[in-house]
Amino acid sequence: LDHLLPRRQKLTRGHHAAMAYASVPAFITDLQEREAVGALALEFLILTAARSSEVQGAAWSEIDLEAQVWTVPATRMKAGREHRVPLSGRALAILETVRPLSGGDEHSPLFPGRDGGPLSNMALAMLLRRMGRTQTVHGFRSSFRDWAGEVSTFPREVAEAALAHTVGDATERAYRRGDALEKRRKLMDAWAGFV
């Protein structure tokens, strides 16, 4: 069949529209002027470089306020591995703001929708549209990665770990078992300071 059929073409969906990292601080300022759970969720997403599904599905049981860490279970991660996210001071302040909305239940969503359940899949995308933006929610991960690669002095591996990306070949991954949490904490604090 290799000789009879044409080669399969790669998918050409393109990249998610992303905001230039230099524009993110002004965007955050605009976002903070909005009094909505969606605005807080989007800011939290940007600060943590998380995927929208991770933020929308986050529950209080995943948050360790004392250790300042959000642990996303493997079942909700794209790579199927648990991911610890260090929380900056601003990310913690957002959690304190939304805490009263959840009713205190550890299984309640961090960012509840109008019905008390998690925000809908489209809530963050619609917020961007209402703000007149053409970028995607997922594009903020690219904004973070561009900033980390172009402005910060943190190693590539630390930035990729912050995005929960798999780095290196199978042999390298077999020997690197840590998640560089403390290095990532410094990275995420620097990102929060920048935005």
Residue 107 designated active-site: no
Residue 16 designated active-site: no
Side chain identity at residue 194, one-letter code: F
Question: Which residues are CB-neighbours of 113 under 8 A, at least 6 positions away?
Answer: 37, 119, 120, 123
Residue 129 designated active-site: no
Active-site position among 16, 78, 81, 156: 78
Active-site position among 83, 84, 90, 141: 141
Residue 76 designated active-site: no
Question: Residue written as tokens 């996210």?
Answer: 85
Q: Where are the alpha helices (DSSP H) in the chain?
A: 24-32, 37-48, 52-56, 89-102, 123-130, 139-150, 156-162, 170-175, 181-194
Residue 15 designated active-site: no
Bridge partners for 64 per DSSP: 69
Active-site position among 51, 90, 184, 185: 51
End-to-end alpha-carbon separation of the chain, Å?
53
Active-site position among 34, 76, 99, 138: 138
Distance (Å, rounded) from C-alpha 133 to C-alpha 36?
17
Residue 183 designated active-site: no
Active-site position among 16, 129, 165, 176: 165
Q: Which residues are catalytic?
A: 51, 78, 138, 141, 165, 175
